[in-house]
Amino acid sequence: MIIFVVLGIITSIFQLVTLREFNFSLARNELAFVIAAGFWIVFCSLGSIVKNNQKFRDFTLPLLFTLTFSLSISLIHSAKSLIGLKYYEVVNPGLIIFLSLALIGPPAFVIGLAFRRFTDLYIRNNYFKKETYAKFFAFEAIGFFLGGVSFTVLLNSYSNPLIFSILPLLLIPAVGKIDKKIITAGAIIVISIISVLSFDTLIKKELDNADIRFNLGSGYGPVIAARKGKTTLLFSGGSLLATSEDKSSNEEFIHMSLSALETVQQTDILFIGASLSGQAEEIMKYMPKSLDFLQINPIISELSRVGLAKKAAGLVNFITDDPRLYLKNSNKNYDLILMNMPSPSNLGLNRYFTQEFFKSVSGRLKDKGVFSFNIASKREILSPQFVRFNSSIINAVDKIFTHRLIIPSDSMIIIASNNRIITDDYLLSNFSKAQPETFFFTIYHFRDFLSPGIRSYIQNMLDNKIPPNSDLSPSGFLSYLALEQAKFWPNLAVDLKKIRQAVIIFLILSAAILLVVSYFSKKSLCLLNIAGFGFNSISLVSIIFVLFQIYCGALFWKLGFLIALFMAGLSSGVFLINRIKPFRPHLLSALYLLWAVFILILFFILQLIGKLSYAGLIFYLLSFVCGLFTGAGYPCFTDNLIKIKFDPKKIAPAIYSMDLAGAFLGTIVTGIFLIPFLGVPYSLLSLIFLNTILAFRNLNN
């Protein structure tokens, strides 16, 4: 059974690294990440049902692990340059699905192949009982737990993902003769060295042959500085964070925002975002009493500190913390809070543009304090996509702040306050009095930005019927995705109401069809239950991942730990139920009801979790319990298949493949339909509906 633990360790790390790299280089958002995870799952399933010649597999499995992983990572970082896209450009969703299939599939297929190989070997060479089938999954889950914890604690800050191609050396003991062990190990080492040394070339090509100044790993993703011509670009987690040519836009944002203050000197100011393009120097021209820079990524905080001008170095306080947690836990109030964050192209960024976040900001403002931030927009003509996106964010602002002023531009500035009405004349007067030294921005530019005609046009275009952007119903994120896809489909329109209705009808019809199929035979019901558990499990895990990203903001750093705890729960569930002999009647039905109750509890505490400073611990617990229920089903599946005289040699592969097939459907349905269009609360209600139906269907079986 030790080989299953080793397989779990390799699977865990390969999966985490491959999906992280796919997300940072290609997918760029969590929903596409969930879909990519679905392809990983389905290819694992396909690999587990393929038979291979024993001699061939013994010799080549470890080598196939290294080859497919290295090629997958290399092609992920080469894909955009091969199809003529820039690193920061958005990829067509259809192309994302194709690339998921082509790049995620091969290493996952080999993992499924290995699982089938090792189960066949064990059954052939060892005496086993029916409980042994479930133990295959339990011991692999133990390895998955060890790999996930190791990755989160020790390995998540890698800068070169291809270094992990050496891991299949752990499988060498499974290779037969000593000469084959030596040859295979040598080949893995050679391939790994070549792969690691080629990664710098891949990154350079991926960034359009730019001069790579540095490539630093972090739990939040790679931080890359590249110089193209006279411009230096800084990327974090695949998104463009700053450039050396931001001076003009920085002057506009900083000086227009600070002009909203009653007193521009001796104020307490908080800046949320990366300070990499001279923002601190511009703010220091107003001689604030205190200036705090808040950034979640410690590497970016350190880069900001190092790049700060010497004359301001001792006057700026750098805070490395999640902005949401800092605003929730801090006792300090501010006269001005500035936020300069990238657009909400993923849920990790969307969490800074929701009404829940704006409420936290409002709570840290002084009585006459001001909040200012910017979003992507257009100065003169708003397309329908921009109208929906801008409206969703501004409607969220209006839910929290009593007064709000917009300054139209390609980067619209929104200035909000609760106890002050800020007018155009007030802004212009304050700027004239302050007379800050600027290179690009003047009073004439300021007046042009505040043109009454343009501001009136933008205000009239905004639609107050667009749902305000929120944590659990991310309309801003969806609107921005539609905005990004406009270059592929210029007339793309997203009618959330109609799509929601269609999704609900689809779910009801699908449930009815599956129930009819389950009455065809006992075998059909057994296989449906396995797939149903896989669907249920991965759907709930996906929701937990999304909630973790919304409330904690470190999904791709701590993903390994979340998965590890899920696998620990799965293993515990298998061993726990294996002790119940014989299985109690209606146990499977009881498990479905427990699922429903568990999800119902999560539904009722959703809002509460977001208010807790230890929300991460709750998600770890939820992940473990989710795994516990999942693992509890495997002994039941084994028992039921044996009762209907299923071929013993095919039981483990059948459970593995049907479970993963259901999980694949779960990632597609949850990632594409449930979370985006129903939102998290109604997604949970959909899962409660599914589990209740399956519980009653299994009541008399």
- Do 320 and 353 contact (CB within 8 A), yes or no? no
Q: What is the pLDDT of residue 510?
A: 85
Question: pLDDT tens, 177-197?
Answer: 787 788 888 999 999 999 999
pLDDT band at 687 (very low <50, low <70, confident <90, very high): very high
pLDDT band at 166 (very low <50, low <70, confident <90, very high): very high
Q: What is the pLDDT of residue 129?
A: 56
Own/partner pairs, 619-624, CB within 8 angstroms, 24+ separation: 619/544, 619/547, 619/548, 619/551, 619/552, 619/562, 620/561, 620/562, 620/565, 622/544, 623/541, 623/544, 623/562, 623/563, 623/565, 623/566, 623/569, 624/565, 624/566, 624/568, 624/569
CA distance 266 to 270: 13
The yes-or-no verdict on residue 174 having pLDDT over 70 is: yes
Question: pLDDT tens, 83-142?
Answer: 888 887 778 878 888 888 899 989 999 888 888 777 777 777 665 555 555 677 678 888
Please state the rounded mean pLDDT for residues 41-65: 72
Q: What is the pLDDT of residue 242?
A: 79
- Do 344 and 352 contact (CB within 8 A), yes or no? yes
CA distance 373 to 400: 15
Q: Which of 504, 479, 505, 506 is nearest to 493 (CA)?
A: 479
Report the share of the chain in percent with pLDDT over 90. 35
Q: What is the pLDDT of residue 628?
A: 92
Q: What is the pLDDT of residue 568?
A: 85
Q: Please, where in the chain does CATH 3.40.50.150 lie?
A: 240-470
Q: Which of 499, 645, 9 is nearest to 17 (CA)?
A: 9
CA distance 336 to 589: 56
Span of 30-34, 157-161, 162-166, 406-410 with lowest mean pLDDT = 30-34
Report the share of the chain in percent with pLDDT over 70. 93
- Do 481 and 32 contact (CB within 8 A), yes or no? no
CATH number of this structure's domain 495-701? 1.20.1250
Question: pLDDT tens, 411-453?
Answer: 999 999 998 889 999 999 999 988 888 888 899 999 999 999 9
Q: What is the pLDDT of residue 586?
A: 65
pTM of the model: 0.87
Q: What is the pLDDT of residue 195?
A: 94
pLDDT band at 172 (very low <50, low <70, confident <90, very high): confident
Q: What is the pLDDT of residue 59?
A: 62
Two tokens, residue 56:
């061939």
Assign domain 240-470 to its CATH superfamily.
Answer: Vaccinia Virus protein VP39 (3.40.50.150)
Question: pLDDT tens, 195-230?
Answer: 999 999 999 998 888 898 889 888 888 898 888 887
Span of 139-143, 220-224, 325-329, 524-528 with lowest mean pLDDT = 139-143
Question: pLDDT tens, 531-565?
Answer: 899 899 989 999 999 999 999 888 888 888 888 88
- Do 128 and 648 contact (CB within 8 A), yes or no? no
Two tokens, residue 68:
């497919």
Q: How far is the CA of 656 from the CAs of 14, 101, 111, 521, in angstroms?
A: 19, 20, 12, 20
CA distance 476 to 483: 10
- 32-36, 145-149, 275-279: which is most confident: 145-149
Q: How far is the CA of 567 from the CAs of 30, 141, 148, 436, in angstroms?
A: 21, 5, 9, 58
Q: Please, where in the chain does CATH 1.20.1250 lie?
A: 495-701
Q: What is the pLDDT of residue 232?
A: 82
CA distance 339 to 644: 62
Please state the rounded mean pLDDT for residues 295-312: 77
What value does the mean pLDDT of the chain take? Answer: 86
Please state the rounded mean pLDDT for residues 335-362: 94
CA distance 168 to 155: 16
The yes-or-no verdict on residue 582 having pLDDT over 60 is: no
Please state the rounded mean pLDDT for residues 67-92: 88
More confident residue, 133 or 74: 74
The yes-or-no verdict on residue 270 having pLDDT over 80 is: yes
Residue identified by tokens 């129903």 is 678
Question: pLDDT tens, 450-483?
Answer: 999 999 999 999 999 899 999 998 999 989 988 8
Two tokens, residue 120:
């066949």
CA distance 641 to 522: 9
